[in-house]
């Protein structure tokens, strides 16, 4: 059975709202507001935008442009700037006119807005997985190059659990405005792929909790995984697993209680948040 796109967006968005409710946070700020966010492929008139729902490109652009103090970003990968001249790229071979019709300018606009925020001396932290071929982590690395106010890290969860990726997509601006959704920092996620998310404005309490999650990932990226992982035997599946030293696969008496000055309770919070924020 096929469902209308609007029904899918509403269903996913309700799930997001319910998950936010499960944070047991009471956002007392009367200014706190939330909007649904979507990406709709261009040149598909039968997939018209849902009235009242914001576009992903606009939201990411606003977050970057309006940041005055800080901007934290988590993405699986980056390809905001297209590479139609690179034979290794999926963009290769398309004309400028075709790329423009595809909506490539939205990705460039978001990238430029982040760069402008860096030039305004906004404190920026960029966290991602290893990226995708052929650019991998080039864009966040370029943004951080020569700029002390911009930091970029790559977190490989496979070093901690034997497999896994950073699949979360989160933006936090000035510790009060937040995007949580399915869109990567990729121009195609803005104009060529169906994506859904939520945009929270003037919500410092919710932003603080999301920032805690970001901080846990950031700390994890700074640690030497080989010093804090163990190889254990999983008797149920008859395999050896690489797990963090706080894993429940390890006897409770042998688990680590503190990692590099980092509370294990916070790490457990990271795990629960990771389940919450894996939108897709």
Is 150 a residue whose pLDDT tops 60?
Answer: yes
State the pLDDT confidence band at 92, using cuts at 50, 70 and 90: very high
State mean pLDDT over 96-114: 96
Residue 219, in any domain of the structure: yes
For the stretch 37-60, pLDDT in tens is 999 998 888 888 888 999 999 999
Number of domains in the chain: 1
- Quick one: average pLDDT of 67-94? 96
* pTM summary value: 0.85
The stretch 146-172 carries a mean pLDDT of 95
More confident position, 11 or 245: 245
Domain of 116, CATH number, reads 3.30.870.10
- Domain membership flag for residue 193: yes
The pLDDT of residue 146 is 97
What proportion of the chain, given as a percentage, has pLDDT over 70? 82
**Residue 273: helix, strand or coil by DSSP?**
helix
Domain around 35: 5-223
Closest CA relative to residue 76, chosen from 227, 176, 224, 181: 181
User: Would you state the pLDDT for residue 237?
Assistant: 87
| 12 in any annotated domain | yes
- Is the pLDDT reported for residue 205 higher than 70? yes
Looking at the domain assignment, is residue 271 inside a domain? no
- What are the b/e assignments for 103-142, b being 16+ CB within 10 Å? bbebbebbbebbbebbeeebebbbbbbebeeebbbebbbb
Q: What pLDDT was estimated at residue 234?
A: 87
- Is the confidence at residue 3, as pLDDT, over 90? no
Arithmetic mean of pLDDT over the chain: 86
pLDDT of residue 261: 60
């Amino acid at each position: 059975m096929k469902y209308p796109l609007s029904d899918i967006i509403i269903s996913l968005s309700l799930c997001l709202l319910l998950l936010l409710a499960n944070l047991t946070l009471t956002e007392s700020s009367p200014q706190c507001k939330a909007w649904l966010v979507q990406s709709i492929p261009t040149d598909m008139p039968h997939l018209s935008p849902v009235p009242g729902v914001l576009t992903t490109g606009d939201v990411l652009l606003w977050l970057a442009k309006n940041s005055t103090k800080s901007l934290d970003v988590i993405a699986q990968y980056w390809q905001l700037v297209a590479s139609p001249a690179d034979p290794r790229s999926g963009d290769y071979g398309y004309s400028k006119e075709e790329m423009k019709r595809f909506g490539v300018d939205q990705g460039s606009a978001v990238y430029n807005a982040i760069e402008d925020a860096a030039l305004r001396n906004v404190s920026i932290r960029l966290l991602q997985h290893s990226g995708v071929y052929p650019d991998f982590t080039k864009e966040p690395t370029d943004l951080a190059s020569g700029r002390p106010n911009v930091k970029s890290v790559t977190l490989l969860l496979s070093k901690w659990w034997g497999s896994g990726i950073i699949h979360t997509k989160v933006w936090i601006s000035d510790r009060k405005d937040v995007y949580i959704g399915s869109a990567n920092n990729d121009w195609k996620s803005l104009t060529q792929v169906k994506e859904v998310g939520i945009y929270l404005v003037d919500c410092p309490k919710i932003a603080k909790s999301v920032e805690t999650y970001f901080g846990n990932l950031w700390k994890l990226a700074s640690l030497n995984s080989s010093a804090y992982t163990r190889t254990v035997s999983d008797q149920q599946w008859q395999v050896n697993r690489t797990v963090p030293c706080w894993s429940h696969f390890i006897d409770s008496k042998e688990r680590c209680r503190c990692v590099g000055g980092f509370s294990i309770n916070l790490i457990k919070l990271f795990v629960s948040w990771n389940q919450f924020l894996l939108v897709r």
